Structure 1
Amino acid sequence: MFGGGGGGLNPRKMEQMMEQMGIDVDDIDAEEVIIRTDEHDLVFSDPEVTKMDARGQETYQIIGSPEEVESGAAGGAADSGAGADEDAGPSIPDEDVELVATRAGVSEDDARAALEENDGDLAAAVEDLE
């Protein structure tokens, strides 16, 4: 089905066949991909990522060589400072910190601390600070 003995299938022909079967393929301009497991994190720096959508079922293909790092060490965990050894809950987006700081009239450090204490819940953090 996928080509004869002539050295493989023409990429354009492959694309036409996939389109006929209802499969969309898009390249994703990814800077980094992190896969977290119980034992460690796999960090793919500057990988080739392709998203394939086959009638609503999305599949991602990652091409690259991962670096194996300590579980939870990848992806910005280093900027959380003193409380990092606690159950390192959800990482708090900067936008949320700015919103809570503005809303409650406090510094961003105080806002981040309140968000961390409230597991990222914006309303609860603002309430604690008011």
Structure 2
Amino acid sequence: MMPGIGRVNPRQVKQAMKRLGIKAEEIEDVEEVIIRTKTKEYVIKEAAVTLMEVQGQKSFQILGEPEILERKSIAKDEEKKIPDEDVKLVMEQTGCTEEEAIRALTECDGQPAEAILKIMSSR
């Protein structure tokens, strides 16, 4: 109960929402909700989700206990962006492992020539 309001009749709340043009619909059987940012992931299991529509604008209300997880390092994403041909070229020219080639290419902004020089100068 909210202070100063007293008891609220759920039926009156529904009628007031209808007069204001607010539609609310409970989404059934929600298993989990995941919100991803660049650095974190919010996982809400067994969430209660309500879809509300006000003046054509839809919004979701999510109730539940979130589990906050750190996202995997961005370096993993960068590794995927490096072409296989570049990795292979660096490996052939330097005799290094795939992991070393990827690390060097990542540090050299994907430039194979710079990565080769970097590996060769460190030996």
TM-score range, shorter chain: 0.5 to 0.7
In 1, Cα distance between the equivalents of 2:21 and 2:62? 22
Question: How many pairs are equivalent?
Answer: 76
Question: What is the distance in 1 between the residues matched to 2:27 and 2:39?
Answer: 27
Alignment of 1:17-96 (within 5 A): 17-29=16-28, 30-71=30-71, 85-86=76-77
Give the distance between the partners of 1:10 and 1:52, measured in 2 at CA.
20
Alpha-carbon shift at residue 8 of structure 1 (Å): 3.1
Per-residue Cα deviation, 1:80-128 (whole angstroms, up to 9, x for no partner): xxxxx45699xxxxxxxxxxxxxxxxxxxxxxxxxxxxxxxxxxxxxxx
Q: Which has the larger radius of gyration?
A: 2
Q: Structure 1 70/8 Cα, relative in aligned 2: closer, same or farther at 3 Å?
A: same
Instruction: Identify the range of structure 1 (35-44 vs 4-13) with the bigger mean alpha-carbon deviation.
Output: 4-13
Question: What is the aligned-residue identity percentage?
Answer: 39
TM-aligned CA distance change 1:69 to 1:25, over 3 Å = same
SS in 2 for 1:69: strand
Deviation readout 1:20-64 (Å, 9 max, x if unpaired) = 111110001211100101211000001000111012111110000
Give the alignment's Cα RMSD to 1 decimal: 2.9
Change beyond 3 A, Cα 1:44–1:88: farther
TM-score scaled by length of structure 1: 0.50
Gap runs ≥5 in structure 1: 73-84, 90-130
Q: TM-score, normalised by structure 2?
A: 0.53
Equivalent position amino acid for 1:13 in 2: Q
CA 1:86 to 1:5, structure 2 compared with 1: closer, same or farther past 3 Å?
closer
